[in-house]
A = this chain, B = another copy of it.
Amino acid sequence: MKNNKLSHFDTNTGDKREKILKAALHLFTTLGFHATPTSLISKTAGVSTGTLFHYFPDKQTLIDELYLSIKKEMSGVVGNEENPALPTKAQLERGFIRYIDWGMANPEKACFLSQFHHSPNISDAVQSRAYEEFRWITEMYSRAIREGIFTDHPVSYHMIMVAQILSGVLELLSLGEEEMSADAIIAAGMEKIFK
């Protein structure tokens, strides 16, 4: 990495590896995994075909690493509660909002995650590693159920329903529905989640 020295033209900031991941994110999201040739990824990234395979042993590893890195990023943003003293409901709400904000700020990443969630394109090993990244949510939801903030149903019920509703909120927000403000959409989503 030569980023500490001033390069003549700062074209290689973040480096080829990052460029490849970025191009892959865009293309996988737009075209799908199998419909995206590695040659197109390298071309879009502005590197040679050889370079792609220098950083990633194969296409599968590329999407796996991309998936895992985005999941981690998302988990980090959502779970990053600065005020752990807050009551459970507020923590949940703030977490959901952070997720929505992140999703609006990173639409391709959000789209990528929902597209490749449960997809056979991600290897099983990575799927479960990604799942572990979210174990903390299980605990938080259990508490919410015990405290009566969530209805008295199994955790898995809430896991799925919350995910579905938040995903619907993101879809509505990105649709740019004119008859409903972003705040109204988010508020309505929150209401659907609790109760």
Contacts and interface: CB of A to CB of B under 8 A. Distances in A.
A154 B168 contact: no
Interface of A is mostly: helix
Contacts of A179: 154, 156
A175 interface: yes
Contacts of A151: 188
Given A161-B168, A180-B157, A185-B157, A32 B31 contact: no
Interface of A: 30-35, 119-121, 151, 153-154, 156-157, 160-161, 163-165, 167-168, 171-172, 175, 177, 179-180, 184-185, 188, 191-192, 195
9 contacts: A32-B33, A32-B34, A33-B34, A153-B184, A154-B180, A156-B172, A160-B168, A161-B165, A165-B165
